[in-house]
Each structure stands twice: as C-alpha cells, then as structure tokens.
C-alpha cells in the first residue's frame, strides 16, 4: 500500500517523500482513511508505530481543504502529556505541512509564555499543547478554542497517569460540541475506555498492535541480580557489548541521577533526564544522546514518555516499573521502524512481584537468567577504589581539622588497602 492510495494530497505526498517514508505503517494505513472520513477514532498505538503521522497527515489534509479563517483561530488542538512529546509532535506537523499554507505552533510549561503568546497572536491553525500551559493561556485570554474542529488526545493513558483528567475535562468544556475527536493510547485500561466513552462520538476502534502486548521484534531478557550489583552489571553489559546508545530506566529521579553519576565515573558518558531537570537540561541531554555524544540516557518513565529516538538498539530496565503498562512503553523504545531491538531487565528479589504482574499483562513468561558467576568488573572495581580513596581523603581532612596531629600510619594503611582492592 502507498501513501498515495490513502488519498493524501500532492502537497502532503511531497512532504512525506522528503521525509523518506516509503510505505505507510500499520497504524497509518488504518487510521488515515477513517480520519479523512471525519470519523472519531480510538487508536491503540505505541510510540514508534508512526502514530503521529497517522493523525497529523489526515488532519492537515482536512484543514488544507477548507478556506483559512481570517484571523486564523486554532482549528486543530493536540494535547500531549509532556513538553518533549509536544515539541516532537509539532516538529512533525511542521515538516508535513511544509508545502501547505497551514501554520502550527506548540505551547508548554517550564519556559517563558511570552514568545508563545506572540505566536498565538499571529494566528495558527494547529496548536500542540500540554494541558496546564494551555489552560493558563486561555485564562490570560491569549487564545480562544471556540473554533476547534479536531481534537487529539495523544498518549491519553499517560495523561491519565499524570493526573491530567481534570484539566482535560476543563479543556473539553471550552471546545465546540461539534468536532472530530481522536484518542491515541499505547494501553487500554478501564480508565481510558471510560474517558473514550465520555467524549468520543461513535468511535471506530483501530489497533495496530494487539492490546497490551509487546512488539514481537524485541528480544526480552531478564537477569536476576542482587540490588547492590545492578550498577556493576550495567557497566559490564555496556562496556563488553560496546553499546553506544542505551536508554536506561530507573524508578526514581534520585536513582536516575545516582546511576548517571556512577556511569560517568566508569567513563561511560551519560545524562539523566527527569521531571526535576529544567527544560533546557532535558533538551540538551536528549540532543546529546541523539547525536551520539551521550552514550547512556538514564530516564524516569514520565520524562521518557514521547521521546522520539529512532532505531534505539538497547533499552535496560535498571528497576522494573511498579505500573506494568510502563514496561510496555519502556521496551517499545527499541525495535522501532522495523529494526530489531533488545530489552534487558535487572530484577532483584524485591521486584519479583512486579515481574509476575508484567508477565500477566503481556501474556508471556520471562524466564530470568541467574548470574551465578557475575563479579564486579575491573572498571567498577576501579570506581569503587576511587570512591574509597575519596572517602579516606575526606576523613583525613576532617580529622586534620579536629586534631593538629593526624593519625598518619592508620590513614596510610587504609588508603593502601583501598587501592589494592581496586587493582586486583
Ligand atoms: P511516532 O510513533 O509517531 O513517534 O513515529 C516514530 C518515528 O517513525 C518518527 O521518527 C517518524 O518520523 C517515523 N515514521 C513515521 N511514519 C513513518 C513511515 N511511514 N515510514 C518510516 N518512518 C516513519
């Protein structure tokens, strides 16, 4: 099947060919004709499935076939859970609309509102937004939503997980009741189905991958490993495998920072990305990772949501997520665009319950490999020795501060043993 046979206009076909896409993905083949028929759509699609083009292309075609309104009020609104996803969706809209007269912009929190307000005043046809900033700017009367014809909830499951349900309801109340609604979600929980029932009008259900199952091309490996040895194992896997682009998931922001620091000490370039980082830091980390300057990106689930990193060969779960659906999202980062990928999970004893839940969700048994002969790597031993040395030096400084005469012999002995341990 070709993009042309989906009924897309020449202006869009030109942009698609400029992007280098040859055939529409499964979700695109199913969703594009339905959206062009102006149906409400409830789509199950993961990041990496091509879902963005799946809604952006038909939306652009619809908007481009209508005469532009004089003041260019927003006619299409796309809500996303995170700033990163909003920026990526907008980038795609910009690329696909290059040969049309349509304008799009993006608004999200964490950065100054003034440039966003200015862009809105100039008039835009398509607005990509995170819910909080959108409501702020509506309150400031920087935009009106009364002319919205098409609404998209992208990664709707994540929006609910992040507690956006009230914001979404407020936004829905600001839109005209006659409009086309599209809901995209990687997983279909009861809550998503309820949201869909509340605001979609006789939706057509589109599924590109079976509900809550993992992508077939992904090799999933589980290692049973002591919590204390996880960092050593990650360093060993990355170094010995000579992996150059690895996405690692941790459960907490603090854990992401800690692991990233340890990787850096082991001479593996790394950056952490999570909700406490500024927008600038997140963007820098992501672009460094995409350009190959940063070898390992350590992320929490929320921060990683929507990251567009094509052809990611390795994803590691440093800790299993306590929400099983997140496992599906995480490993969906690999094996993209038809390439094969590898997802590794390091599971300590206290996480076995999470593993059972994940197996239930994906309907697959993930037999853990036991690493009986695993020893910390030489590199990690060096890191430990350096840390030990630092501790000793600190203790030394401290004791010098208190006593005029430091206990030299004991100090020297401790330092020596630390170093020797490292070199063995
Ligand atoms: P998405 O699932 O929307 O995040 O898209 C994942 C990636 O696939 C993005 O980098 C898109 O640019 C790319 N993509 C989307 N559609 C196609 C296609 N038909 N052929 C090749 N790549 C595509």
Strands 126-129 vs 270-273: parallel, antiparallel or unpaired:
unpaired
Cα 331-332-335 angle, rounded to 5 deg: 95
Confidence label for 29 from pLDDT (cuts 50, 70 and 90): very high
Q: How close is the Cα of 50 to the center of ligand 1, in Å?
A: 4
* Residue ID of nearest Cα to ligand 1 atom 19: 24
* Residue ID of nearest Cα to ligand 1 atom 14: 50
267 Cβ neighbours under 8 A, 6+ residues apart: 379
Per-residue pLDDT tens over the stretch 176-211: 999 999 999 987 788 888 889 988 999 998 977 544
pLDDT value of position 411: 40
Q: How close is the Cα of 162 to the center of ligand 1, in Å?
A: 25
Average pLDDT over residues 88-113: 95
Per-residue pLDDT tens over the stretch 214-235: 555 678 999 999 898 999 999 9
pLDDT value of position 370: 77
Q: Which of residues 365 and 318 earns the better pLDDT score? A: 318
Q: How far apart are CA 92 and CA 130, in angstroms?
A: 16
Strands 369-370 vs 218-224: parallel, antiparallel or unpaired:
parallel
Place of tokens 């599971």: 347
Number of H helices, E strands in the chain: 17, 14
Q: How close is the Cα of 4 to the center of ligand 1, in Å?
A: 17
Q: How far apart are CA 92 and CA 76, in angstroms?
A: 15
pLDDT value of position 295: 95
Per-residue pLDDT tens over the stretch 129-144: 999 999 999 999 999 9
Q: How close is the Cα of 15 to the center of ligand 1, in Å?
A: 13
Q: How close is the Cα of 175 to the center of ligand 1, in Å?
A: 29
Query: Hey, which of 2, 8, 12, 21 would you mutate to test ligand 1's pocket, going by the most ligand atoms within 8 Å of its Cβ?
Result: 21
Confidence label for 48 from pLDDT (cuts 50, 70 and 90): confident
pLDDT value of position 286: 86
pLDDT value of position 374: 66
Both structure tokens of 390: 């630092």
pLDDT value of position 211: 41
Closest listed residue to residue 281, CA positions, set 79, 80, 81, 84? 84
pLDDT value of position 418: 36
DSSP assigned state of 55: H
Kindly state if the Cβ of 24 falls inside 6 Å of ligand 1.
Answer: yes
Q: How far apart are CA 65 and CA 67, in angstroms?
A: 7
pTM above 0.85, yes or no: no
Q: pLDDT exceeding 90 applies to what percent of the chain?
A: 53
């Amino acid at each position: 099947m070709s993009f042309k046979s989906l009924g897309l206009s020449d202006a869009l076909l030109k942009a698609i060919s400029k992007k280098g896409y040859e055939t529409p993905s499964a979700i695109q083949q199913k969703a594009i004709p339905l959206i062009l028929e102006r149906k409400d759509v409830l789509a199950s699609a993961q990041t990496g499935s091509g879902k963005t083009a799946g809604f952006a292309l038909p939306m652009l075609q619809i908007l481009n076939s209508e005469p532009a309104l004089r003041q260019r009020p927003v006619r299409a609104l796309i809500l996303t859970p995170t700033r990163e996803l909003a920026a990526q969706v907008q980038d795609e809209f910009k690329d696909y609309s290059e040969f049309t007269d349509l304008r799009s912009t993006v608004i999200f929190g964490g950065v100054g509102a003034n440039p966003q307000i200015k862009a809105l005043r100039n008039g835009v046809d398509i607005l990509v937004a995170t819910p909080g900033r959108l409501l702020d700017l509506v309150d400031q009367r920087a935009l009106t939503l009364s002319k919205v014809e098409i609404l998209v909830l992208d990664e709707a499951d994540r929006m609910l997980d992040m507690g956006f349900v009230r914001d979404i309801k407020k936004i829905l109340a600001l839109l005209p009741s006659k409009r086309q609604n599209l809901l995209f979600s990687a997983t279909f929980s009861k809550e998503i189905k309820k949201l869909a029932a509340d605001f979609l009008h006789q939706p057509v259900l589109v599924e590109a991958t079976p509900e809550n199952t993992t992508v077939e091309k992904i090799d999933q490996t589980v290692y049973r490993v002591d919590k204390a040895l996880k960092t050593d194992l990650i360093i060993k896997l990355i170094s010995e495998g000579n992996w150059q682009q690895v996405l690692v998931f941790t459960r907490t922001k603090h854990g992401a920072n800690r692991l990233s620091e340890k990787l850096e000490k082991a001479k593996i370039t790394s950056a952490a990305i999570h909700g406490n980082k500024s927008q600038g830091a997140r963007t820098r980390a992501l672009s460094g990772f995409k350009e190959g300057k940063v070898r390992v990106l350590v992320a929490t689930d929320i921060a990683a949501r929507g990251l567009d990193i094509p052809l990611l060969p390795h994803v590691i779960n440093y800790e299993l997520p306590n929400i099983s659906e997140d496992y599906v999202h995480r490993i969906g980062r690999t094996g993209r665009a038809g390439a094969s990928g590898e997802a590794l999970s390091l599971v300590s004893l206290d996480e076995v319950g999470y593993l059972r839940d994940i197996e239930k969700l994906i309907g697959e048994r993930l037999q853990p490999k036991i690493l009986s002969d695993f020893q910390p790597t030489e590199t990690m031993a060096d890191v430990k020795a350096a840390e030990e040395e630092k501790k000793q030096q600190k203790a030394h400084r401290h004791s010098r501060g208190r006593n005029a005469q430091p206990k030299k012999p004991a100090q020297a002995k401790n330092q020596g043993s630390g170093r020797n341990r490292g070199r063995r």
